[in-house]
Amino acid sequence: MRVFKFGGASVKSAEAVRNVGEIISDYQGEKIVVIISAMGKTTNALEKILTAENSNIELLISEVEVFHNDIIKKLFPDSESKVYKRVNTVYAEMRSFISNNDMQTTKSYAHFVGFGEILSTIIINQYLNLNGIKSIWCDAGDLIITENKYVEAKVQWHKSIEKIKGKITSLFKDNDIVISQGFIARTESGECSTLGREGSDYSAAIFANAINSEDLTIWKDVPGLLNADPKFFDKTYKLDYISYRETIELAYYGASIIHPKTIQPLKKKSIPLYIKSFLNPKDKGTTVQQEAFADSMISSYIFKKNQVIVSISARDFSFIAEDSLSLIFKQLNSYNLKVNLMQNSAISFSICLDNNKELVRSFIADMQKIFKVRYNEDMELITIQNYNQEVIDELIGNREVFLEQKSRTTVQILVR
Ligand code: ASP
Ligand code: MG
């Protein structure tokens, strides 16, 4: 048994879906769970509908409809194909959901954005069946169970594992391919929830863990895990082998290649992760695995732009001690602000955050009631794994360094 994951870019057009079909048919005779994201930028389009003016909603929904119908028309020449009826039912559900619910709640958000994955998986499952691949559609919401929170919900591990194991084993009796959705889940009370944006990788890892998959392959539009973002660098290297540990760190520091939660369920069962190109499926890609011997000594770079550094000190020049720290973190947690870097000195405590302006301003305002607070915006956080001085100097250039922190393998530098 294996698990494949195809993201939005790999199913963004009819041609892309055909390519996915070809990749799957290369593995004929194997049992594969295929986890799929919403097509192209559909999740963004659905998020936009949720915040749109009433007068705009119908237009935006019909854009989503036209986008999917254009793909369907190219894949299903027979206008009697049952795919049309299936997707029309979903479009109708979307409209009725909008008319009957308050779109401002996180509960509505989770329900509505999930329609993207429902559409993509219906289309791809029907397409595979039409082309002689025996696949079956399965609702991920029946299998991945989360806490009673709607967005970025934590997975109820034991319940989910039991459900996935049972269902997938039984579906594999009569089918080679099970098609299910990434990103979406259901709460213990049976409402829709999500695992957070870009969470489909994590969904795939949960399935892989549950069924003791031989491996997990994430099919991407890049040749594998690269040491830097090709958007910013002319010369990048593919890492052939990398350990779970180094990959978790890269994802944690902000490399956008896979969702940071993906590795842990794989590591627990030593399931290798292959990151491969759906454009060149025969190429080897990157293997992520247990062993550290293969850890790459190539330096990897990650940039986080739009950072803010907030420095907090006591009004009376006293130390920032444990009681103050716990107050600061409680407030950060209540705004769901994630600390990218922190440093404590005798009288001030500095933290670097993504500059989500509204939240950061509210946090600063709260802190100013008790402490003296200074902040600086428009900073960039550079993280280098397997660093050396030459690489550091090159990446900093002539920018001003505000904070620097080094461990044996990783250096983080905040610059402006
Ligand atoms: N479709 C969801 C998103 O765009 C989940 C995913 O792609 O992983 O965030
Ligand atoms: Mg996506």
First to last CA, the chain: 49
Ligand nearest to the CA of 44: 1
Q: Select from 10, 11, 197 the residue to mutate for testing ligand 1; criterion: most ligand atoms less than 8 Å from CB.
A: 197
Considering only CA atoms, which residue is closest to atom 6 of ligand 1?
A: 198
How much distance in Å is there from the Cα of 176 to the middle of ligand 2? Answer: 25
Quote the crossing angle between the two packed helices 54-75 and 82-100, to the nearest 10°: 170
Q: Give me ligand 2 centre to Cα 40, in Å.
A: 7
**Which pLDDT belongs to residue 36?**
98
Ligand 1 atom closest to the CA of 259, numbered from 1: 8
Percent of the chain with pLDDT over 90: 84
Please give the structure tokens belonging to residue 173.
């009796």
How far apart are alpha carbons 307 and 416 in whole angstroms? 10
Q: Which pLDDT score, from 0 to 100, does residue 232 have?
A: 80
- Interval between CA 317 and ligand 1 midpoint (Å): 47
Considering only CA atoms, which residue is closest to atom 5 of ligand 1?
A: 198
Q: Which fold has domain 2-214?
A: Carbamate kinase (3.40.1160)
CA of 100 to the centre of ligand 1 (A): 25
183 lines ligand 1 (CB under 6 A): yes
pLDDT band at residue 237 under the 50/70/90 scheme: confident
Pick from 35, 109, 200 the residue to mutate for probing ligand 1's pocket: most ligand atoms within 8 Å of its CB. 200
Query: Quick one: which of 122, 84, 115 has its CA closest to 97?
Result: 115
Mean local confidence (pLDDT), 45-72: 97
Q: Per-residue pLDDT tens for 211-223?
A: 999 999 999 999 9
* 3-state class (DSSP) for residue 399: coil
The one-character DSSP state at 116 is: H
- What pLDDT does residue 401 have? 95
Residue 62 has pLDDT above 70, yes or no: yes
Q: What percent of the chain has pLDDT over 70?
A: 99
Residue 9 · residue 257 · CB < 8 Å: no
Mean pLDDT value of segment 62-82: 96
Question: Under CATH, what is the fold of the domain 300-415?
Answer: VC0802-like (3.30.2130)
Residue with the bigger pLDDT between 15 and 236: it is 15
The predicted-structure confidence for 104-142, as pLDDT tens digits, reads as follows: 999 999 999 999 999 999 999 999 999 999 999 999 999
Give the residue extent of every domain in the chain.
2-214, 300-415
Q: Give the residue, out of 124, 198, 218, with the most ligand 1 atoms within 8 A of its beta carbon, to mutate for a pocket test.
A: 198
- pLDDT mean across residues, the chain: 94
pLDDT in tens, 276-324: 999 999 999 999 998 766 555 788 889 999 999 999 999 888 888 888 9
DSSP assignment string, 159-180:
HHHHHHHHHHHHHHHH-SEEEE
Question: Does residue 116 line the site of ligand 1, with CB under 6 A?
Answer: yes
pTM for the model stands at 0.88
Cα–Cα distance list, 412 to 42, 236, 331, 380 (Å): 34, 20, 24, 10
Per-residue pLDDT of 145-196, as tens digits, reads 999 999 999 999 999 999 999 999 999 999 999 999 999 999 999 999 999 9
Q: Which residues surround ligand 2, an ion (CB under 5 A)?
A: 7-8, 37
Token look-up 């049976």 returns 190
Q: What's the average model confidence in pLDDT over 336-345?
A: 92
Taking the CA of 202 as reference, the closest ligand is: 1
114 C-beta closer than 6 A to ligand 1: no
